[in-house]
Structure 1
Protein backbone atom coordinates (compact mmCIF):
# COMPACT_ATOMS: atom_id res chain seq x y z
CA UNK A 1 0.00 0.00 0.00
CA UNK A 2 1.19 3.49 -0.88
CA UNK A 3 0.87 6.19 1.75
CA UNK A 4 1.60 9.78 0.80
CA UNK A 5 4.10 11.51 3.10
CA UNK A 6 2.80 14.24 5.36
CA UNK A 7 4.23 17.48 6.69
CA UNK A 8 5.63 17.14 10.20
CA UNK A 9 4.74 20.79 10.87
CA UNK A 10 1.11 21.06 9.73
CA UNK A 11 0.09 17.47 9.00
CA UNK A 12 -0.84 18.26 5.37
CA UNK A 13 -0.07 15.89 2.51
CA UNK A 14 3.26 16.58 0.80
CA UNK A 15 3.08 16.70 -2.97
CA UNK A 16 5.80 17.29 -5.57
CA UNK A 17 5.82 20.46 -7.67
CA UNK A 18 4.42 18.74 -10.76
CA UNK A 19 1.07 18.67 -12.52
CA UNK A 20 -0.50 15.23 -12.43
CA UNK A 21 -2.72 13.95 -15.22
CA UNK A 22 -6.16 15.50 -14.77
CA UNK A 23 -4.91 18.34 -12.54
CA UNK A 24 -5.09 21.99 -13.55
CA UNK A 25 -2.01 24.12 -14.06
CA UNK A 26 -2.02 26.97 -11.51
CA UNK A 27 -3.21 30.21 -13.15
CA UNK A 28 -0.02 32.21 -12.44
CA UNK A 29 2.08 29.52 -14.11
CA UNK A 30 -0.22 29.49 -17.15
CA UNK A 31 -0.08 33.28 -17.45
CA UNK A 32 3.73 33.22 -17.28
CA UNK A 33 3.95 30.44 -19.87
CA UNK A 34 1.62 32.28 -22.26
CA UNK A 35 3.66 35.49 -21.89
CA UNK A 36 6.87 33.61 -22.65
CA UNK A 37 5.22 31.85 -25.57
CA UNK A 38 4.19 35.22 -27.00
CA UNK A 39 7.82 36.41 -26.96
CA UNK A 40 9.30 33.16 -28.29
CA UNK A 41 10.41 32.65 -31.87
CA UNK A 42 9.64 28.92 -31.82
CA UNK A 43 8.42 26.10 -29.59
CA UNK A 44 10.50 23.10 -28.53
CA UNK A 45 8.57 20.16 -27.09
CA UNK A 46 10.70 17.71 -25.11
CA UNK A 47 9.47 14.34 -23.91
CA UNK A 48 5.74 14.95 -24.15
CA UNK A 49 2.99 13.29 -26.14
CA UNK A 50 0.92 16.47 -25.67
CA UNK A 51 -2.11 14.28 -25.07
CA UNK A 52 -3.40 16.57 -22.34
CA UNK A 53 -4.75 19.93 -23.46
CA UNK A 54 -2.67 21.90 -20.96
CA UNK A 55 0.42 21.14 -23.07
CA UNK A 56 -1.23 20.77 -26.47
CA UNK A 57 -2.62 24.30 -26.33
CA UNK A 58 0.92 25.71 -26.54
CA UNK A 59 1.51 23.79 -29.76
CA UNK A 60 -1.79 25.10 -31.13
CA UNK A 61 -0.88 28.65 -30.11
CA UNK A 62 2.56 28.40 -31.73
CA UNK A 63 1.07 27.02 -34.95
CA UNK A 64 -1.63 29.71 -35.05
CA UNK A 65 1.09 32.35 -34.60
CA UNK A 66 3.17 30.89 -37.42
CA UNK A 67 5.96 29.84 -35.07
CA UNK A 68 7.89 26.70 -35.96
CA UNK A 69 7.54 23.72 -33.63
CA UNK A 70 10.21 21.10 -33.02
CA UNK A 71 9.73 18.02 -30.86
CA UNK A 72 12.01 15.47 -29.26
CA UNK A 73 9.83 12.55 -28.28
CA UNK A 74 9.53 8.81 -28.72
CA UNK A 75 6.26 7.91 -30.43
CA UNK A 76 3.31 9.93 -31.61
CA UNK A 77 2.14 13.23 -30.20
CA UNK A 78 -1.22 14.92 -30.33
CA UNK A 79 0.43 17.71 -32.33
CA UNK A 80 2.19 15.61 -34.98
CA UNK A 81 0.32 17.43 -37.74
CA UNK A 82 1.53 20.80 -36.34
CA UNK A 83 5.18 19.86 -35.76
CA UNK A 84 7.73 21.11 -38.28
CA UNK A 85 10.65 18.99 -37.07
CA UNK A 86 10.37 15.81 -35.02
CA UNK A 87 13.27 13.83 -33.62
CA UNK A 88 12.30 10.41 -32.29
CA UNK A 89 15.16 9.88 -29.89
CA UNK A 90 16.11 10.21 -26.26
CA UNK A 91 16.16 13.81 -25.03
CA UNK A 92 19.14 12.81 -22.88
CA UNK A 93 21.11 12.19 -26.06
CA UNK A 94 19.75 15.01 -28.21
CA UNK A 95 19.55 18.03 -25.86
CA UNK A 96 23.31 18.32 -25.19
CA UNK A 97 23.89 18.52 -28.95
CA UNK A 98 21.11 21.09 -29.36
CA UNK A 99 22.66 23.20 -26.58
CA UNK A 100 26.05 22.93 -28.27
CA UNK A 101 24.61 24.06 -31.61
CA UNK A 102 22.88 27.03 -29.98
CA UNK A 103 26.19 28.18 -28.48
CA UNK A 104 27.99 28.11 -31.86
Structure 2
Protein backbone atom coordinates (compact mmCIF):
# COMPACT_ATOMS: atom_id res chain seq x y z
CA UNK A 1 0.00 0.00 0.00
CA UNK A 2 1.46 3.37 -1.00
CA UNK A 3 1.72 6.44 1.22
CA UNK A 4 -1.37 8.14 -0.21
CA UNK A 5 -3.49 5.05 0.44
CA UNK A 6 -2.20 4.81 4.02
CA UNK A 7 -2.80 8.51 4.55
CA UNK A 8 -6.36 8.07 3.23
CA UNK A 9 -6.94 5.46 5.95
CA UNK A 10 -5.67 7.89 8.59
CA UNK A 11 -7.97 10.63 7.28
CA UNK A 12 -10.98 8.29 7.31
CA UNK A 13 -10.24 7.18 10.88
CA UNK A 14 -9.71 10.72 12.21
CA UNK A 15 -12.54 12.52 13.95
CA UNK A 16 -11.03 15.92 13.16
CA UNK A 17 -8.90 16.68 10.11
CA UNK A 18 -7.23 20.06 9.62
CA UNK A 19 -5.28 21.31 6.60
CA UNK A 20 -2.69 24.08 6.36
CA UNK A 21 -2.13 25.36 2.82
CA UNK A 22 0.67 27.45 1.37
CA UNK A 23 1.63 29.00 -1.93
CA UNK A 24 2.15 25.64 -3.63
CA UNK A 25 -1.58 25.05 -3.42
CA UNK A 26 -2.31 28.00 -5.71
CA UNK A 27 0.54 28.12 -8.23
CA UNK A 28 -1.40 25.84 -10.59
CA UNK A 29 -4.15 28.48 -10.56
CA UNK A 30 -1.71 31.01 -11.98
CA UNK A 31 -0.82 32.68 -8.68
CA UNK A 32 2.98 33.12 -8.56
CA UNK A 33 4.93 32.03 -5.52
CA UNK A 34 7.19 34.38 -3.63
CA UNK A 35 10.65 32.92 -3.20
CA UNK A 36 11.49 30.78 -6.24
CA UNK A 37 13.71 32.06 -9.06
CA UNK A 38 10.61 33.30 -10.87
CA UNK A 39 8.87 34.35 -7.66
CA UNK A 40 7.32 37.68 -6.79
CA UNK A 41 10.21 38.86 -4.60
CA UNK A 42 12.62 38.56 -7.53
CA UNK A 43 10.45 41.11 -9.37
CA UNK A 44 9.52 43.43 -6.50
CA UNK A 45 11.38 44.69 -3.44
CA UNK A 46 9.69 43.28 -0.32
CA UNK A 47 10.59 46.46 1.57
CA UNK A 48 8.20 48.39 -0.66
CA UNK A 49 5.37 46.46 1.01
CA UNK A 50 6.47 46.92 4.60
CA UNK A 51 3.95 48.35 7.04
CA UNK A 52 6.35 51.16 7.89
CA UNK A 53 6.36 52.26 4.26
CA UNK A 54 2.56 52.16 4.23
CA UNK A 55 2.59 54.50 7.25
CA UNK A 56 5.23 56.92 5.93
CA UNK A 57 4.55 56.85 2.17
CA UNK A 58 1.01 55.56 1.65
CA UNK A 59 0.73 57.13 -1.82
CA UNK A 60 3.86 55.37 -3.08
CA UNK A 61 2.89 52.17 -1.30
CA UNK A 62 -0.47 52.06 -3.07
CA UNK A 63 1.02 52.78 -6.48
CA UNK A 64 3.29 49.76 -6.05
CA UNK A 65 0.54 47.67 -4.46
CA UNK A 66 -1.71 48.01 -7.50
CA UNK A 67 1.14 46.77 -9.70
CA UNK A 68 1.86 43.87 -7.33
CA UNK A 69 -1.80 42.85 -7.23
CA UNK A 70 -2.00 42.85 -11.02
CA UNK A 71 1.12 40.67 -11.21
CA UNK A 72 -0.22 38.19 -8.68
CA UNK A 73 -3.92 38.08 -9.50
CA UNK A 74 -4.36 39.81 -12.85
CA UNK A 75 -4.72 36.63 -14.88
CA UNK A 76 -7.56 34.14 -15.02
CA UNK A 77 -7.30 32.90 -11.44
CA UNK A 78 -9.61 29.98 -10.70
CA UNK A 79 -9.56 27.15 -8.12
CA UNK A 80 -7.52 24.17 -9.26
CA UNK A 81 -7.87 20.42 -8.57
CA UNK A 82 -6.16 20.81 -5.18
CA UNK A 83 -8.82 23.29 -4.02
CA UNK A 84 -11.54 21.08 -5.47
CA UNK A 85 -10.23 17.98 -3.69
CA UNK A 86 -10.11 19.77 -0.34
CA UNK A 87 -13.66 21.04 -0.93
CA UNK A 88 -14.78 17.49 -1.71
CA UNK A 89 -13.22 16.17 1.50
CA UNK A 90 -14.94 18.94 3.47
CA UNK A 91 -18.33 18.36 1.84
CA UNK A 92 -18.14 14.68 2.79
CA UNK A 93 -17.18 15.41 6.39
CA UNK A 94 -13.52 14.39 6.14
CA UNK A 95 -12.01 17.88 6.48
CA UNK A 96 -13.08 20.24 9.22
CA UNK A 97 -10.89 23.33 8.91
CA UNK A 98 -8.47 24.93 6.47
CA UNK A 99 -5.77 27.24 7.75
CA UNK A 100 -4.22 29.07 4.83
CA UNK A 101 -1.19 31.28 4.34
CA UNK A 102 -2.56 32.34 0.96
CA UNK A 103 -4.30 35.66 0.34
CA UNK A 104 -5.87 34.76 -3.01
CA UNK A 105 -9.34 33.90 -1.67
CA UNK A 106 -9.56 30.64 -3.63
CA UNK A 107 -10.46 28.52 -0.60
CA UNK A 108 -13.23 30.93 0.33
CA UNK A 109 -14.71 30.37 -3.14
CA UNK A 110 -14.83 26.59 -2.79
CA UNK A 111 -14.76 25.08 0.68
CA UNK A 112 -17.53 24.58 3.24
CA UNK A 113 -14.87 23.90 5.89
CA UNK A 114 -14.13 26.51 8.53
CA UNK A 115 -11.52 28.80 7.00
CA UNK A 116 -8.81 30.78 8.76
CA UNK A 117 -6.99 33.18 6.41
CA UNK A 118 -3.86 33.73 8.46
CA UNK A 119 -2.36 36.36 6.17
CA UNK A 120 -5.61 38.03 5.19
CA UNK A 121 -7.38 38.30 1.85
CA UNK A 122 -6.06 40.44 -1.02
CA UNK A 123 -9.57 40.97 -2.36
CA UNK A 124 -10.52 43.01 0.69
CA UNK A 125 -9.28 46.35 1.96
CA UNK A 126 -9.54 47.76 5.47
CA UNK A 127 -9.32 51.20 7.04
CA UNK A 128 -6.16 51.36 9.14
CA UNK A 129 -7.94 53.66 11.58
CA UNK A 130 -11.49 52.42 12.14
CA UNK A 131 -11.30 48.89 10.71
CA UNK A 132 -14.07 49.34 8.11
CA UNK A 133 -13.68 46.68 5.41
CA UNK A 134 -14.48 47.12 1.75
CA UNK A 135 -13.90 45.46 -1.62
CA UNK A 136 -10.31 45.93 -2.74
CA UNK A 137 -11.16 46.17 -6.45
CA UNK A 138 -13.03 49.44 -5.93
CA UNK A 139 -10.12 50.80 -3.87
CA UNK A 140 -7.61 49.92 -6.60
CA UNK A 141 -9.78 51.74 -9.15
CA UNK A 142 -9.69 54.82 -6.95
CA UNK A 143 -5.90 54.57 -6.75
CA UNK A 144 -5.64 54.19 -10.52
CA UNK A 145 -7.85 57.28 -10.88
CA UNK A 146 -5.38 59.29 -8.83
CA UNK A 147 -6.65 58.98 -5.24
CA UNK A 148 -3.36 58.27 -3.48
CA UNK A 149 -3.70 57.27 -0.79
CA UNK A 150 -7.31 56.07 -0.77
CA UNK A 151 -9.20 57.17 2.33
CA UNK A 152 -12.03 55.68 4.36
CA UNK A 153 -15.47 57.08 3.58
CA UNK A 154 -16.43 56.82 7.25
CA UNK A 155 -13.51 58.30 9.16
CA UNK A 156 -11.01 59.59 6.58
CA UNK A 157 -8.31 57.16 7.66
CA UNK A 158 -5.93 55.62 5.14
CA UNK A 159 -7.13 52.34 3.63
CA UNK A 160 -4.71 49.41 3.44
CA UNK A 161 -4.96 46.00 1.80
CA UNK A 162 -6.56 43.54 4.21
CA UNK A 163 -3.43 41.41 4.28
CA UNK A 164 -0.60 41.07 6.79
CA UNK A 165 2.20 43.31 5.57
CA UNK A 166 5.86 42.89 6.44
CA UNK A 167 6.33 44.32 9.90
CA UNK A 168 2.76 43.52 10.96
CA UNK A 169 1.71 40.83 13.39
CA UNK A 170 -0.87 38.25 12.46
CA UNK A 171 -4.34 38.90 13.79
CA UNK A 172 -4.28 37.41 17.30
CA UNK A 173 -7.81 36.01 16.99
CA UNK A 174 -6.97 34.21 13.77
CA UNK A 175 -3.73 32.87 15.20
CA UNK A 176 -5.52 31.61 18.32
CA UNK A 177 -8.16 29.90 16.16
CA UNK A 178 -5.48 28.28 14.03
CA UNK A 179 -3.53 27.01 17.03
CA UNK A 180 -6.70 25.65 18.59
CA UNK A 181 -7.54 23.79 15.39
CA UNK A 182 -4.00 22.37 15.31
CA UNK A 183 -4.24 21.21 18.92
CA UNK A 184 -7.60 19.52 18.35
CA UNK A 185 -6.68 17.79 15.09
CA UNK A 186 -6.47 14.02 14.90
CA UNK A 187 -4.88 14.36 11.47
CA UNK A 188 -3.07 17.46 10.21
CA UNK A 189 -2.19 17.96 6.53
CA UNK A 190 0.44 20.58 5.63
CA UNK A 191 -0.05 21.15 1.90
CA UNK A 192 2.05 23.10 -0.58
CA UNK A 193 3.93 25.05 2.07
CA UNK A 194 7.66 25.38 2.56
CA UNK A 195 6.91 25.66 6.31
CA UNK A 196 9.57 28.34 6.57
CA UNK A 197 7.44 31.35 7.55
CA UNK A 198 6.48 31.71 11.19
CA UNK A 199 4.18 31.54 13.03
CA UNK A 200 2.24 29.43 10.51
CA UNK A 201 5.19 27.06 10.18
CA UNK A 202 4.82 26.11 13.84
CA UNK A 203 1.27 24.80 13.41
CA UNK A 204 2.24 21.29 12.19
CA UNK A 205 4.51 20.96 15.22
CA UNK A 206 1.66 22.04 17.51
CA UNK A 207 -0.54 19.37 15.96
CA UNK A 208 2.10 16.65 16.20
CA UNK A 209 2.88 17.46 19.84
CA UNK A 210 -0.84 17.15 20.56
CA UNK A 211 -0.91 13.64 19.09
CA UNK A 212 -2.13 14.27 15.55
CA UNK A 213 -1.08 12.17 12.58
CA UNK A 214 1.06 14.61 10.60
CA UNK A 215 1.29 14.57 6.79
CA UNK A 216 3.41 16.85 4.63
CA UNK A 217 2.36 17.06 0.96
CA UNK A 218 4.83 19.18 -0.97
CA UNK A 219 7.21 19.05 -3.92
CA UNK A 220 10.26 19.58 -1.70
CA UNK A 221 11.40 18.60 1.76
CA UNK A 222 10.45 21.00 4.55
CA UNK A 223 11.98 21.65 7.97
CA UNK A 224 9.09 19.66 9.47
CA UNK A 225 9.41 16.67 7.13
CA UNK A 226 11.63 14.62 9.51
CA UNK A 227 8.87 14.53 12.14
CA UNK A 228 6.01 13.75 9.73
CA UNK A 229 4.18 10.42 9.73
CA UNK A 230 3.71 10.87 5.98
CA UNK A 231 6.08 12.91 3.81
CA UNK A 232 4.50 12.80 0.37
CA UNK A 233 6.60 14.51 -2.32
CA UNK A 234 4.57 15.50 -5.32
CA UNK A 235 2.39 18.04 -7.07
CA UNK A 236 -0.53 18.83 -4.77
CA UNK A 237 -2.90 19.08 -7.77
CA UNK A 238 -2.17 15.41 -8.43
CA UNK A 239 -1.78 14.08 -4.88
CA UNK A 240 -4.88 15.65 -3.34
CA UNK A 241 -7.39 14.36 -5.93
CA UNK A 242 -5.92 10.88 -5.42
CA UNK A 243 -6.22 11.27 -1.68
CA UNK A 244 -9.85 12.42 -1.89
CA UNK A 245 -10.71 9.57 -4.23
CA UNK A 246 -9.19 6.97 -1.92
CA UNK A 247 -10.87 8.44 1.13
CA UNK A 248 -14.24 8.27 -0.62
CA UNK A 249 -13.73 4.81 -2.14
CA UNK A 250 -13.17 3.04 1.16
Q: TM-score, normalised by structure 1?
A: 0.78
Match of 2:234 in 1: 89
CA gap 1:29/1:78 in 2 versus in 1, 3 angstroms:
same
Aligned partners of 2:241 and 2:167: how far apart in 1? 31
Structure 2 gap ranges (5+) = 1-43, 45-62, 67-135, 143-149, 153-157
Residue aligned with 2:65, SS: coil
Aligned partners of 1:23 and 1:101: how far apart in 2? 41
CA gap 1:81/1:23 in 2 versus in 1, 3 angstroms:
farther
Aligned partners of 2:243 and 2:221: how far apart in 1? 21
Match of 1:15 in 2: 161
Q: How many residues align?
A: 103
Quote the offset at 1:98 in angstroms. 1.3
Deviations 1:27-69 (A, max 9, x none): 1111111222232111100011111221221121122122111
Is 1:103 aligned to residue 248 of structure 2? Answer: yes
Greater share of strand: 2
Aligned partners of 2:188 and 2:209: how far apart in 1? 12
Aligned partners of 2:211 and 2:173: how far apart in 1? 25
**Maintained 8 Å contact 1:4/1:14:** no
Is 1:3 aligned to residue 64 of structure 2? Answer: yes
Quote the offset at 1:86 in angstroms. 1.1
Match of 2:14 in 1: none
**Maintained 8 Å contact 2:215/2:230:** yes
Aligned partners of 1:16 and 1:68: how far apart in 2? 33
Q: Which has the larger radius of gyration?
A: 2
Matches within 5 A, 1:69-88: 69-88=214-233
Q: TM-score, normalised by structure 2?
A: 0.36
Greater RCO between the two (CA within 8 Å, min separation 6)? 2
Structure 1 gap ranges (5+) = none
1:44 pairs with one of 175, 189, 195: 189
Quote the offset at 1:22 in angstroms. 6.2
Residue aligned with 1:96, SS: helix
**Maintained 8 Å contact 2:184/2:210:** no
